[in-house]
Amino acid sequence: MTKRLQLFAHAVQAGELAEKELAPFDSTTLLGRYFRFSIVSLYNKQLGAPLTVQDINTLENDFPDLHAEHQVLTTYLSNSSEAEKITALETLLSHAEAEGWARLVRWLTALLVELEMATGNYGHALFRLYEEIDFAPDIALNGTHFEYPLVLMRQDMAATLYYLGEYQKSLDYCQQIAVPQPEASEIMLQGKLCEIRAQIRLGQHDTALASLQILLPLLTASEYNVDALTILRLHAEALLGTERLEEAREAALKAYERLNASGTPPAKDIFNISLLLAQVYLKHGNPEEAARFASDAEQSIESLENSKYHIRALLRTQGEIAEASGNYKIALAHFNNLYNQIHTSLPTIPWDKVKQISSKLDEQNIEDLILKKQSYNDNHNFLKALIIILSILLTISLIIVYKAARTKNQLEYLSRADPFTSVYNSWASLNIIEKELSREKLGSLALFNVSNLPHMAIKQDKLKNIATLIKSNVGKRCVIGRYSGTTFVIWFPQTEYSKAYQHLQHIRRICIDYSSNDCSFDTARYEFSFSQVHERSNLLKIIEECQYKLKEKIYE
């Protein structure tokens, strides 16, 4: 057995499995053939050098523990679905526990934890780990493919708690992994990355950045490496959490460049980096670029093993992007989908099994879990009754609020609209222009006058038609109001002097064409004056100047 583990560890380190290394396992003996089968299958991650039916029967009779191991390998490396593998391995686990095969129990636990984490069943994975962690051997990693060492179990425990949202408990296990260990620098690095990941989720961004400053100098130039990519991604996430947006963008783009250095990077890395860039550009106020990277993340999600966890992060980001873009209907659809995902894929907790845990798990944790369950049941019944009552009250309140809001909107409209032309009145238009100027910092303000308009034409709503004509020929962000009599005020945001002049000339030509086709007011004359405005300008003084210029034009 020891020879088999040593050979496997050597082959994994060397990156190849030489036929001469298999020579010690004599193919003329049953055990030799079985050990060849197990090593080749595990190394290639698919069944190889299969045994005959007679070999399998003899193995069952003479070496029952190895026969069980053979069943485990055959099940785990088969093409069955994850659910079928879990069911079959649970049966084998029960048999191994009954026979007292401790090594097989730990190995089966490791395989089941791996499968349940891959399918998002973190609750079951967590309690398997709680049952076995006190019995895990503190051994070197040479035997990890036929054992479940303590360090790897702690690593899985940290990951499971992280995905369940228990970031503080995850951090505690990460710190146990990150302590210095002889000949285990890779495990220490994984522990440190695990620790940083949990710190970021807990909002300890400065602590995470301090740890990352030690790791960043270890990165090689620009070649693709999973750990290097993780370090760059976590660095960008920590910077983003401290609102250092430009630095976060640069760090995320470095990670993106590193990702593209690989011909075919893993789907998980494509998803993580794409989603990170989507979040960075969203914080930068660039929802279009954020949506592009979110789309890249969505395309890669189908290839991920643990898509349940990742799709929730994607839906949340897509909802925020849609909201930032003003697509509230799409945003609502994403958030509704997110709600359904969270409430249909929460891990099921085997409560009855909690009471039977034989490990040294803190009893307070168990009591807390049971109390949470009881509290959940009580709250669930209470919430049912409360929801019914609130639904009735909400319906009544919505009717009242709707009527009040409708009345308020009508009153607000009447207070802001000019009743004769349906554009803003003088007070409302100047108030809006003042707010727009403080936001836009620059624009052009114009007075547009209609003179020589017959009184009959005014009665026939010709002035209202002119107001509508002007409104339909300015931009959506422009503001138009009736300043006084037959004079309109127009605000062109972020528009320079020459551009504003072109707009006004265009409006004037359209109005002249309109009145020339109607003999009832073909004598109408259109003049305008305007001025460029910046945030320090005195708005009332500029309007007075425009009025003075306009009068000069009218009486020329």
Q: Which residue from 11, 77, 67 is spatially nearest to 39, judged by alpha carbons?
A: 11
Q: Which residue from 51, 120, 88 is spatially nearest to 345, judged by alpha carbons?
A: 120
Tell me the sheet residues that pair with 492.
444
Q: Which residue from 414, 423, 415 is spatially nearest to 463, judged by alpha carbons?
A: 423
Residue 348: pLDDT above 50?
no
Residue 280 pLDDT? 92
Residue 281: pLDDT above 90?
yes
Q: Which value, in Å, is the radius of gyration of the alpha carbons in the chain?
A: 36
Hey, what long-range contacts does 259-267 have (CB within 8 A, 24 or more apart)?
259/224, 259/229, 261/222, 261/223, 261/224, 262/224, 265/224, 266/226, 267/300, 267/301, 267/303, 267/304
Interatomic CA distance for residues 255 and 153, integer angstroms: 29
Residue range 195-206: mean pLDDT, rounded? 87
- Identify the residue whose tokens are 């050597």: 10
In the chain, count H helices and then E strands: 24, 4
Residue 364 pLDDT? 44
Residue range 367-391: mean pLDDT, rounded? 66
Local structure of residue 519 (DSSP, 8 states): G
Asked if 330 and 322 count as a contact pair (C-beta separation under 8 A), the reply is: yes
Residue 447: pLDDT above 80?
yes
Interatomic CA distance for residues 109 and 129, integer angstroms: 8
Q: Is pLDDT larger for residue 204 or for residue 405?
A: 204
Asked if 136 and 149 count as a contact pair (C-beta separation under 8 A), the reply is: yes
Backbone angles phi, psi at 424, to 5 degrees: -60, 145
Interatomic CA distance for residues 123 and 351, integer angstroms: 10
Give me the sign of the Cα torsion angle 373, 374, 375, 378. Answer: positive
CB atoms within 10 A of CB 238: 26
Maximum alpha-carbon separation in the chain = 118
Residue 260 pLDDT? 82
pLDDT digit string, tens, across residues 90-108: 888 888 888 888 778 877 8
CB neighbour list of residue 317: distance below 8 Å, 6 or more residues apart: 275, 278, 279, 282, 290, 294, 297
Give me the sign of the Cα torsion angle 9, 12, 15, 19. Answer: positive
Local structure of residue 556 (DSSP, 8 states): -
Interatomic CA distance for residues 489 and 1, integer angstroms: 92
pLDDT digit string, tens, across residues 467-522: 888 888 888 889 999 888 888 999 898 888 889 899 999 989 988 888 888 776 77
Interatomic CA distance for residues 148 and 254, integer angstroms: 36
Residue 463 pLDDT? 81
Confidence class for position 246, pLDDT limits 50, 70, 90: very high
Lowest mean per-residue pLDDT among 381-385, 403-407, 448-452: 403-407
Residue range 540-547: mean pLDDT, rounded? 87
Q: Which residue from 310, 306, 358 is spatially nearest to 128, judged by alpha carbons?
A: 358
Interatomic CA distance for residues 278 and 295, integer angstroms: 9
- Identify the residue whose tokens are 């602590």: 207
Asked if 167 and 201 count as a contact pair (C-beta separation under 8 A), the reply is: yes
Q: Give me the percent of the chain exceeding a pLDDT of 70.
A: 74
Q: Give me the percent of the chain exceeding a pLDDT of 90.
A: 5
pLDDT digit string, tens, across residues 114-171: 888 877 777 778 877 877 776 666 655 444 456 677 777 888 888 888 877 778 888 8
Residue 353: pLDDT above 90?
no
Residue 288 pLDDT? 92
Asked if 294 and 274 count as a contact pair (C-beta separation under 8 A), the reply is: yes
CB neighbour list of residue 261: distance below 8 Å, 6 or more residues apart: 222, 223, 224
Residue range 526-532: mean pLDDT, rounded? 89
Q: Which residue from 11, 42, 10, 37 is spatially nearest to 25, judged by alpha carbons?
A: 37
Residue range 316-344: mean pLDDT, rounded? 76
At 530, which helix (H) or strand (E)?
strand 525-534
